[in-house]
Chains A and B, each alone.
Chain A
Amino acid sequence: MTVIEIHNLKKSYNPGKLAVNDVSLSIQKGESLGLVGESGCGKSTLAHCLLGVEKMDAGSIVYNEEPIAHANRKQLRNYRRNVQTVFQNPTASLNPKLKIRDSLLDPYLQFKDDLQLKHFHFTSKQDFVQQLLETVELPKGLADRYPHELSGGQKQRVTIARAISIEPKLIVLDEPTASLDVLSQGAILELLGSLQQTLGMSYLFISHDLAAVYQLCQRIAVMKDGELLDVFRKEEIYDSNRHDYTKELIDIF
């Protein structure tokens, strides 16, 4: 089953230059798709269009067999609930004035009227927060702390817990490990892998690190200068018909 389809997406910031040039991709249920490329290749722009942070110039995004451009308020709300995100910079993703508990509960409180959670069963909000912290392997005592009291790796775990709290269908991970220290990077990759096994959502994992993408994803897409050059299954990485640029990336790692 397909969770999301992107058809012929185009986006330009400067006249005459396309940041994303005619890219089509689809993500299956429970799959993680890796999107790899250098800085400036358009991978984050693609994610921003998907999340609705940026408006695309042409193309369509299809969710639940409906193009989201034609979605009504209710469908759009449903889309926003089901497509969550984790960004590169966890400090900028958490409101410095909110305790960790309140940041974690924010999506739940937004959507609780139309939520039917399958994995999380709880008796109180307090209980829910504790479960979320436990799921991302953080000490329960962090609930009453503020973001500045946590390390970068801990903060990224909080943003992951917040993204999974309403059990979305897809999480867009935009360089979630890039600003972290090497040991935290490995730990976050492992956590993301095991969460996917228990909760079954799909990932769009955006990174310039081919090796990290290889570790987490089943399928890998390669972008350069706004164009999608290569899409392949993980096992096919060393196939001789890989694009020359993909081979260049493989050589680096």
Chain B
Amino acid sequence: MILAIEDLTVSHGEKIIVDKVSLTIDKGEWFALVGQSGSGKTMLSQAVGQLLGPNLKASGRVMYEGDNVLEHPKEKMNQLRGKAISYIFQDYHGSFTPFLTIQQHMEEYLQTHSVQKAQRKEMIREALESVGLDASFAKRYSFQLSGGQLQRASIALALLLEPDILIADEATTALDSVSAHRILSLLQELQQKTGCAILFITHDWRHVVRYSDKIAVMKDGKIIESGTKQKLVHQPEHAYTKQLIQAAPTLPMRVMEVSKS
């Protein structure tokens, strides 16, 4: 077990957005959190890294290496973020500062975590190469990259310090399905190489089926059903889970595949 969320509640004044959610993520697994807009999945993921705005209050426990992350002071959290827990967001343009090059973003990231200057250049080159971007991208600004390229750069950035857990919050929702598929295959490949766990937040059931090991379905701030992919895909119990599965259009099975099974 790498991360355990226990009775996590996020509230905005009187309004409860995440309602006593518990889940555990094992080392190196792909954990999918599925739900509609407004189900509270983003708030849950942001509570883990203490990224919630001041008007939102998180209570409960988020256990990482025996400590409750929610109680960490700011300095300790800064050390953890990036090194142990890192993020990729849906809005790739918002993840970069328009007046810094990709390299400058990475330099800043490494500097914050006190990596020696001598090592940085090589680390940046390797990180970009691992996501299929050649060295020339280091000198570019974010607006000179396409959506798919930017999301690759944010993966390179997020995996730079080999975190134990990567939180991908609708990381491919803004991309077309072909680019989305390429990004997710890349993420899967890198996950196998680095062994980091992924908390994958999405509303697209098709991505869930293809990539995840474990699934939790969230509705109105609560986890209504969770389990292994095998169980949720083939024997969903909750009506809402069935509804989500049905809503995503799929191609019919190939005749070939049907006869095989």
Contact = CB atoms under 8 A, between A and B. Distances in A.
B249 A186 contact: yes
Contact size range, B: 20 to 34
Contact of B203 (A181, A189, A252): A181
Given A181-B36, A238-B255, A186 B247 contact: yes
Nearest to A245: B178
A39 B252 CA distance: 24
Contacts of A208: 176-178
A108 to B, nearest CB: 32
A40 B203 CA distance: 24
B254 A183 contact: no
B205 interface: yes
Interface stretch (A21-29, A68-76, A210-218): A210-218
A211 to B, nearest CB: 4
Interface in A219-253: 237-238, 249-250, 252-253
Interface in A174-231: 181-183, 185-187, 189, 208-212, 214-215
Nearest to A183: B247
Contact of B254 (A214, A238, A249): A238
A38 B178 CA distance: 6
Name A's interface SS.
helix
B179 A189 contact: no
Contact of A252 (B146, B178, B247, B252): B178
Interface string B237-255: 0000001101111111011
A31 B203 CA distance: 31
A183 B250 CA distance: 14
B244 A211 contact: no
B162 to A, nearest CB: 29
A60 B169 CA distance: 45
B206 A253 contact: yes
Contacts of A185: 247-249
Interface in B107-147: 146-147
Residue with the highest number of chain A CB atoms closer than 10 Å, among B146, B179, B249, B252 = B249
Interface of B: 36-37, 146-147, 175-179, 181, 203-206, 243-244, 246-252, 254-256
Nearest 9 interchain pairs by C-beta: A186-B247, A208-B176, A211-B249, A39-B176, A182-B203, A38-B178, A252-B181, A215-B249, A212-B249
Given A208-B177, A209-B249, A215-B249, 9 more contacts: A40-B146, A181-B37, A182-B36, A183-B243, A185-B248, A210-B177, A214-B252, A250-B251, A252-B178
